[in-house]
Every structure is written in structure tokens, then in C-alpha cells.
A and B are shown apart, each in its own frame.
Chain A
Amino acid sequence: SQQGEEDPQALSIQEGENATMNCSYKTSINNLQWYRQNSGRGLVHLILIRSNEREKHSGRLRVTLDTSKKSSSLLITASRAADTASYFCATVGNQFYFGTGTSLTVIP
């Protein structure tokens, strides 16, 4: 079965607001990654967080990982219209699984 489940499935916010997406998974992992996919394009890697890390930052992105709850969150601060895309978590253990994705719309 699919390893990662993301919520919400869709999120619509105003420019300047923060966007939070969550990812839950089922088995143990070595690391968890977040990717962005613009419409009609391939995925772009955003950030990788290892299983022994709890939080990581990259620019306006903040990722947290709670291995006890088997969950991760991606926070995008001060969102921009250009952040409109689908966001996927990917869990890496014995296998590599992508989540179901969150479709983010940032309204200018």
C-alpha cells in the first residue's frame, strides 16, 4: 500500500499567508524528502530530513519530523503566487514511496 498519506489534499491561501502540509507514513524510514511539482512538469527536490533530525530549514521552508508519530510537516512561510504547485512527501526506507500530494493554490 502507499507509504505516505498527505493532508490536506488541497489548500488555498492568500499571498503572504503561511501554508502547512502534513505527511504521515507507516513504517520505519532512513529519511523523508519533500518535492514540488508545477503543473505539467517534473518533480523538484526541496528538502531532505534524516530520521535522526527533528527540524530543518531552507529559505522559506521549514520541515519537521516526528518519528514517534510517523509524521512530517512542511511549512511555507510568506507564500507567493509562484508557490502554487503540488507538494509531495517521499519516504525512504527499504523502499522509496511518494505520498498522495497536496495541491497548493496561492491567490495573489
Chain B
Amino acid sequence: DTAVSQTPKYLVTQMGNDKSIKCEQNLGHDTMYWYKQDSKKFLKIMFSYNNKELIINETVPNRFSPKSPDKAHLNLHINSLELGDSAVYFCASSLGTGLMQFFGPGTRLTVL
């Protein structure tokens, strides 16, 4: 019954590796987002997808690539992980843009 789910919840990996985080929503929303929250709780939007079209890309490094196989899924793939990528990544969804968002539980990524 979870509205927005993410896997894995925790991810520990070495620098230079490639990893993916999966996100699924069962709310029938048409817009999904990825956020990065750093250790100071600063929350920054990374991407959003509306009807499979990328509509926001907040100057994130091109090592990060969102992949949306369908409206219910927006996965985040990260290449060549760096120490600075360590953070909590949140997926969210909404019905339409600019309206209230439903967040997933977060994925805590630690790069060693």
C-alpha cells in the first residue's frame, strides 16, 4: 500500500562504481521527481519527469541520469560515484506540476 517506494533504503559503495536507485509510485501521478538532501538537510531538486518528458534538470552532473520506463517509475542511475555524492536521495510524485508532492522514504547513499 506504500504510495511512493524506493529501493534500496541504504546503499554503501566504493568511489568509481555505478549504482541505481529505483522509485515507484502507485498514486496514478503524472509527474515524478528526484531530490538530494545533504547532511545539513538542504533539499535540492535534481530532476522531474512529466509524462515521460524531462522538464527540470537543476544543473546536476551528467553522471546522474534519470530513467523512466513508464509513468509509475523514475529510476536514478549514477555513474562513477564520488565522495560528494553521499547524501539521502528522495523520490517524489505529484498530480500535475507545482502541486503537493508525495515523498518516498529516501535512500541513504554512502560513497567510501
Contact = CB atoms under 8 A, between A and B. Distances in A.
Contacts, number: 50
Contacts of A14: none
Main DSSP-derived SS at the A contact region: strand
A33 B100 contact: yes
A45 B102 contact: yes
Contacts of B92: 42-43
B42 A100 contact: yes
Contacts of A95: 45, 56, 58
Nearest to A41: B105
A86 B90 CA distance: 16
Interface size class of A (residues with CB under 8 A): 20 to 34
A44 interface: yes
Contacts of B106: 40-42
Contacts of A43: 43, 90, 92, 101, 103
Contact of A92 (B35, B41, B58, B98): B98
Nearest to B104: A42
